[in-house]
Amino acid sequence: MSLLLTGTDTGVGKTFVAVELLRLLREAGIRAVGMKPICCGDRADVRRLLAAGAEDITIEDLNPIWLPSPVAPSVAAQIEHIEIDIEKIQHRFTILSQRFEIVLVEGVGGWLVPIAPKFFVSDLAKRLNLPVAIVTENRLGCLNHVLLTCESIRNRGVSCAGIILNRADAAGDLAQTTNEGELRRLLPDTILIPIAENGVQTPAKWAQLLPRIRPTTLCS
């Protein structure tokens, strides 16, 4: 099983989640690799995925499309006068899937970020036939963003593997102290994984998200 990570916004912690999952999977003896099909702006996140994943992989393997302009991919492509090659992304994902047990694909920005004319992150998930986990940051507004994203994922016939709530233990305001409970009430049938602000996680917590990937090994 592979997985696509999407965000409720940019900068909500998708790369942190991917790196943590890669570390735990590799500690469990599972050959896992990260992939960021499209990167806009600097490549710092791609380098973090490269360092956390399997050996004998190049940055181009993980990131086939790099657009230096720090804007949405469709806009960056116009600025840089190129056409984003979706087939190239799919081909690179297929190669990685043949080499590794797990490919963790990090989307760009949120679920409906435009990649090309009439092609969004949501279409990429369907093209790669991947379940989707939603990453959000615990702050005012995240309830609306999570619910809209979750609804859109399901309306497109894609499986929502779960929700990761970053900085779940933050106590900065009333919203931060109540968001986790409200998400559990509103989405009782969806896996919710709260992530502590200090970043320390347990394997058992992550195993909820990936129940088909040797869950007993991850929980040990």
Q: Which of 14, 36, 126, 205 is catalytic?
A: 36
Q: How many angstroms separate the CA atoms of 92 and 205, rounded?
A: 30
φ/ψ of residue 135, rounded to 5 = -105, 130
Instruction: Tokens 């779940």: give the residue.
Output: 168
Note whether 32 and 53 are within 8 A (CB). yes
Q: What is the DSSP string of 7-49?
A: ESSTTSSHHHHHHHHHHHHHHTT--EEEE-SEEES--HHHHHH
Sign for the pseudo-dihedral over CA of 53, 54, 55, 60? negative
φ/ψ of residue 66, rounded to 5 = -120, 120
Q: How many angstroms separate the CA atoms of 220 and 217, rounded?
A: 5
Q: How many angstroms separate the CA atoms of 46 and 58, rounded?
A: 10
**88 an active-site residue?**
no
Residues constituting the chain: 220
DSSP bridge pairs for 66: 39
Query: Could you give the 3-state DSSP secondary structure of residue 191?
Result: coil
Catalytic residue IDs? 36
